[in-house]
Chains A and B, each alone.
Chain A
Amino acid sequence: MDRLLLRSSPFGAETGALPIGEFEPGEEASARAWDALMGEDCKILVIGAGGLGCELLKDLALSGCRDITVIDVDTIDLSNLNRQFLFRMKDVGRPKAVVAAEFIEKRVPGCKVAAHHAKIQDFDGEFYSQFSVVVSGLDNVEARRWMNSMLCSLAEIDDDGNVIDPDTIIPFVDGGTEGFKGHARVILPRHTSCFECSLDLFPPQRVFPMCTIADTPRLPEHCISYAHLLQWPQAFPDKKLDKDDPEHMKWIHERAQERAEQHQIPDVTYMLTVGVVKNVIPAVASTNAVVSAACALEVVKLVTYAGHVLNTYLMYNGVTGVYGSTMALERRADCVVCGAPRRTFRVPAATTLRAFIADHLGGAALKIRKPSVTHPSRVLFMQAPPALRAQTEPNLDLPLSELCADGDELTVTDPAWGQGTALGAVIKFS
């Protein structure tokens, strides 16, 4: 790293598409670039200690980062060992964050790794604002949305949405993989496209229509879903299916096989059963390595300015040959999280609040599932606590014209966005 941080470059960050700062190398170890990475003020947060997280921790430690924090809620499973190389057979069952941190500290002397076996939602804005960069290796959209929303809310802005204090911008680097494919991306809150702006990049999970599962099964997956979604709740009304319990999975597999035999549908296997019920995504060491290293290199450039910052999304596909593409994702002016969070909805005055939520907020529209709605003068519908929910539930079946006036702005919140984000919904009666 010395040569890259102490010698001047014709391609410092200032010459790139996202000129976040000027590369200041020098012959001394006191040079800004050096200090920014290896000095005391550089604190990196790694979200997830799984396939990507293990790689990220190694990459950052060997890049010279001295102060790393890692958060992961999971414990180690046998099926992790084909790629999560900081874990061994003896570690199965222990918290991922703790084991990963121990290993890195031992292997890379001088690198401090603080471990939190917890959910990201357990920490607040003050906690997150201590970091220079946040980098995530997650396997789900919801956690990314929450983290993105948190970091966007930390960037202090004026009434026009411009950032007042650049120091409050915490870059968010996100990696993800599925089989031989993956992506690395950089989000500069309120400067570049944020995670919410480009939510459509993630296709919805494949679901089978309930009528197919119940009446006209054709695929082994249909039989498995039947056993999982219909037979289990019927047989065990008081017991939740534990997808990690082999006895439970065996039961589902056997029922699915019975149904498949009855309908002469081939190929119900235990492996497929687990895959369908747990929505297993294939994962290999190689893709994790590519994506994590690309992310870690962006972290290094974000703090040292020793190169152009990725603008903004790199996709990798190794299924047929190798294919890569870098593209600048666009910001959405009306993004609920990082834009001017106000949208106008033209709806008939007779629309019920329930229909409004279902058609305009939930589903494909904003992709939120548990919205709460308030009017400047009162709460219209609140998901929790239960008492408030019970009190506001009758409003769901009232027409909007009884709940607000034409042109009123309602406030919509949702757990997917976390605390700092709300949408202003201006209602115009059509």
Chain B
Amino acid sequence: MADGMDSNKYDRQLRLWGANGQRALMTSHILLITAGPTGTETLKNLVLPGVGRFTIMDAAKVQERDLGNNFFVTEEHLGRPRAEVTCELLLELNPDVNGDFRVADVASVIEEEPQYFSTFNLVIATQLAAGPLAKLAEICWDSHTPLLVCRSYGLICYVRTQLRDHCIVESKPESDQSELRIAAPWPELEAHCSAVDLAKLDSKEHSHTPYVVLMFQAIAAWKAQHGGQLPASFEEKRKFQQTIKDMARDFDNEINFQEASEHYYKAYTLPCVPEEIQALLAEAQAHDLTPQSSSFRVLLRALADFVAQEGGGLLPLPGDIPDMTSDTDSFVALQALYKAKAARDAAALATHAARHLAALGRPASTIAPDDVALFAKNAHCLLSVTTSALKQELAADASSSAAEGVAEAMEDPAELPAQTPICWYLALRAADRFQAKRGRWPGETAATIALDNQAVWAELQALVKELGVGKGPLGLAHAREVVRAGASEVHCVASVVGGIASQEAVKVVTRQYAPLDNTAVYNGVAGVLGVYKL
């Protein structure tokens, strides 16, 4: 494969994110902060699929206790910089990857070189204390640098994404995305479907006419008998479905008619621009493009023009049709019709894009034809994701963006309410407050356990009061579990968070699939995962 991509080694992942995604991954540069197990497990899952380059920032030296939970240090490395050692052992995993390290205290880099962080495609901050994390998050927010926050603590862990105007073309939703436009056909589709005379077909042809044609004719007949109206009421829709069945010569043996009857609603569903896309288009029209505008913004603007002009209120046709019972020639002809329309729409979009680029003094070749086609094909599922800023989440009053998410989650508890993951998110926030005040983690030494239990419980109660939410299932027991863990980093828990974080990292740098928005908490005490917008 082109550009040194090893399609055999990467076969199993190329089937998910394709050559486009792999190319994006292989040209990404990721910063990992802190090389403990949470960090190295995250990075391992990015080195294996072939991330372009990584940098590890860590000031620590390898100690005895690292040997017990970190797979990327060994006894012979004791005393050496952890950043250097983990970099070396991680690079062993994949010769395609470049990696370097920086032995530095992240808190000082944040103070002294804030601009450093915006040189990366993604910053992954693991096990960072609340103080420096808040500052780092602000730097990343201001510079639009994607940030992943990873935390593991005893049996609890979470991943938090902070993204701003993060644009995704290939969001690859799981649901059926095909658009047939039977109820609003373009002239060529209309001509193709009306040309078929079902009555003249022999029985084999009749049972192999694609359901698009059947439904087109059924809905045309319905409109003719109902003053041009589509079926609207429940009863009319049922009746319409029956007319499809009645068109069959032998319904039980004509699978194409069975398929038409199963998908009957597609015959009268009018295509439209989804609300989320309308919002994106409105925003694109409200802001003038600048020479710095990304290809995504330029194409979005061009898309708004397309919808207003050639599209007649509709997005470009995606062009794929689902498989359906048919003889080969009928299916191929129908498929070609949809593909041709999709190509015409993409070409029109390209013309708009070229005009905007020209106005900005940029050549039309700035955006490759393949990229325009991809954008047109995915126009109905484009995403621009902006999570809340960490600063908003950590605000110490009811204005916190977390307040609503927490309240909602408390109202919908897990089977054992005390095990609802949101409880553990709050318990870790309480531990953070304890640490910020005392400069040490609760339960670090056995001697203070009883006192720390009470102190963390007090912090937990203060926190929910600030957020303006009730205590719900929270209790002293949550404080006790946090204290007993004593900020320990358990390998399995670190590996869960590393798995979730690396998956989100791949999604962010490849700009494919919808990313987490914005917090996933894994409760290892009971094996429950919760996802919250905080």
Binds A, one of B8-16, B218-226, B291-299: B8-16
In the complex, A407 has a CB within 8 A of chain B: no
In the complex, A45 has a CB within 8 A of chain B: no
Convert A278-300 into 0s and 1s, putting 1 for each residue whose CB lies closer than 8 angstroms to a CB of B: 00111111111111111011101
In the complex, B534 has a CB within 8 A of chain A: no
Could you say which residues of chain B place their CB within 8 Å of the CB of A264?
332
Binds B, one of A54-62, A147-155, A337-345, A373-381: A54-62
Check A293/B493 contact, CB under 8 A, given A107-B71, A107-B74. yes
A309 to B526: give the CA distance in the assembly, Å.
6
User: Contact check: which of A59, A82, A216 meets B9 at CB < 8 Å?
Assistant: A82
The reply to whether A286 and B493 contact each other, CB–CB distance below 8 Å, is no
Closest to B526 in A: A308
User: Contact check: which of B44, B171, B525 meets A285 at CB < 8 Å?
Assistant: B44
In the complex, B45 has a CB within 8 A of chain A: yes
A271 to B477: give the CA distance in the assembly, Å.
54
Min distance, Cβ A248 to any Cβ of chain B, angstroms: 16
Could you say which residues of chain B place their CB within 8 Å of the CB of A292?
495
User: Contact check: which of A16, A59, A109 meets B491 at CB < 8 Å?
Assistant: A59
In the complex, B382 has a CB within 8 A of chain A: no
Binds B, one of A163-171, A321-329, A384-392: A321-329
The reply to whether B328 and A180 contact each other, CB–CB distance below 8 Å, is no
The reply to whether B481 and A17 contact each other, CB–CB distance below 8 Å, is no
The reply to whether A316 and B529 contact each other, CB–CB distance below 8 Å, is yes
The reply to whether A79 and B323 contact each other, CB–CB distance below 8 Å, is no
In the complex, B486 has a CB within 8 A of chain A: yes
In the complex, A190 has a CB within 8 A of chain B: no
In the complex, A318 has a CB within 8 A of chain B: yes
Binds B, one of A3-11, A351-359, A364-372: A3-11
Say which size band chain A's interface belongs to. 35 or more
A82 to B426: give the CA distance in the assembly, Å.
36
Check A285/B502 contact, CB under 8 A, given A58-B71, A107-B71. yes
In the complex, A39 has a CB within 8 A of chain B: no
- Most chain A Cβ neighbours within 10 Å, of B14, B69, B504, B507: B507
Min distance, Cβ B282 to any Cβ of chain A, angstroms: 24
Q: How many residues on the B side are at the interface (Cβ–Cβ under 8 A)?
A: 89
In the complex, A131 has a CB within 8 A of chain B: no
The reply to whether A284 and B12 contact each other, CB–CB distance below 8 Å, is yes
A7 to B50: give the CA distance in the assembly, Å.
41
Check A218/B416 contact, CB under 8 A, given A4-B488, A293-B493, A314-B527. no
Check A284/B155 contact, CB under 8 A, given A78-B9, A290-B496. no
Closest to A185 in B: B527
Could you say which residues of chain B place their CB within 8 Å of the CB of A8?
484
The reply to whether A286 and B323 contact each other, CB–CB distance below 8 Å, is no
A328 to B416: give the CA distance in the assembly, Å.
12
In the complex, A207 has a CB within 8 A of chain B: no
Min distance, Cβ B98 to any Cβ of chain A, angstroms: 17
Closest to A16 in B: B526
Check A3/B524 contact, CB under 8 A, given A85-B44, A284-B503. no
In the complex, A227 has a CB within 8 A of chain B: no
Could you say which residues of chain B place their CB within 8 Å of the CB of A282?
12-13, 15-16
User: Contact check: which of B13, B69, B71, B327 meets A284 at CB < 8 Å?
Assistant: B13
The reply to whether B492 and A79 contact each other, CB–CB distance below 8 Å, is no
Could you say which residues of chain A place their CB within 8 Å of the CB of B439?
none
A155 to B164: give the CA distance in the assembly, Å.
55
Closest to A275 in B: B15
A322 to B520: give the CA distance in the assembly, Å.
7
In the complex, B61 has a CB within 8 A of chain A: no
Could you say which residues of chain B place their CB within 8 Å of the CB of A89?
95
In the complex, B48 has a CB within 8 A of chain A: yes
The reply to whether A286 and B506 contact each other, CB–CB distance below 8 Å, is yes
User: Contact check: which of B171, B477, B504 meets A11 at CB < 8 Å?
Assistant: B477
User: Contact check: which of A4, A286, A296, A326 meets B485 at CB < 8 Å?
Assistant: A4
Min distance, Cβ B498 to any Cβ of chain A, angstroms: 6
Check A218/B326 contact, CB under 8 A, given A16-B416, A307-B155, A307-B524. yes
Check A320/B514 contact, CB under 8 A, given A78-B8, A293-B495. yes
The reply to whether B514 and A3 contact each other, CB–CB distance below 8 Å, is no
Check A280/B11 contact, CB under 8 A, given A62-B71, A216-B327, A293-B493. yes
The reply to whether B513 and A293 contact each other, CB–CB distance below 8 Å, is no
The reply to whether B525 and A11 contact each other, CB–CB distance below 8 Å, is yes
Closest to B37 in A: A62
Convert A209-238 into 0s and 1s, putting 1 for each residue whose CB lies closer than 8 angstroms to a CB of B: 000000011110000000000000000000
The reply to whether B503 and A265 contact each other, CB–CB distance below 8 Å, is no
Min distance, Cβ A138 to any Cβ of chain B, angstroms: 16
The reply to whether B531 and A323 contact each other, CB–CB distance below 8 Å, is yes
The reply to whether B525 and A308 contact each other, CB–CB distance below 8 Å, is yes
The reply to whether A308 and B419 contact each other, CB–CB distance below 8 Å, is yes
Could you say which residues of chain B place their CB within 8 Å of the CB of A179?
15-16
User: Contact check: which of B449, B484, B528 meets A314 at CB < 8 Å?
Assistant: B528
Check A62/B491 contact, CB under 8 A, given A11-B525, A308-B419. yes
Could you say which residues of chain A place their CB within 8 Å of the CB of B494?
293
The reply to whether A11 and B503 contact each other, CB–CB distance below 8 Å, is no
- Most chain B Cβ neighbours within 10 Å, of A81, A83, A289: A289
Q: What would 17 A/B residue contacts be, using CB atoms closer than 8 Å? A: A1-B68, A4-B155, A7-B443, A8-B484, A59-B495, A82-B48, A107-B74, A216-B327, A218-B326, A284-B45, A286-B506, A290-B503, A294-B522, A296-B495, A297-B496, A320-B173, A326-B526
Name B's A-contacting residues (CB within 8 A). Answer: 7-16, 37, 41, 44-45, 48-50, 68-71, 74-75, 92-95, 154-155, 159, 171-174, 208, 323-328, 331-332, 414-416, 418-419, 443, 446, 449, 476-477, 480-481, 484-486, 488, 490-496, 498-500, 502-504, 506-507, 513-517, 520, 522, 524-531
A10-B481, A307-B155 given; name 12 further pairs at CB < 8 Å.
Answer: A2-B488, A3-B488, A7-B484, A11-B481, A62-B71, A63-B490, A83-B49, A286-B502, A297-B496, A311-B415, A318-B513, A324-B528
Name A's B-contacting residues (CB within 8 A). Answer: 1-4, 7-11, 16-17, 27, 55, 58-59, 62-64, 78-79, 81-83, 85, 88-89, 107, 109, 179-180, 184, 186, 216-219, 263-265, 271, 274-275, 280-294, 296-298, 300, 307-311, 314, 316, 318-326, 328
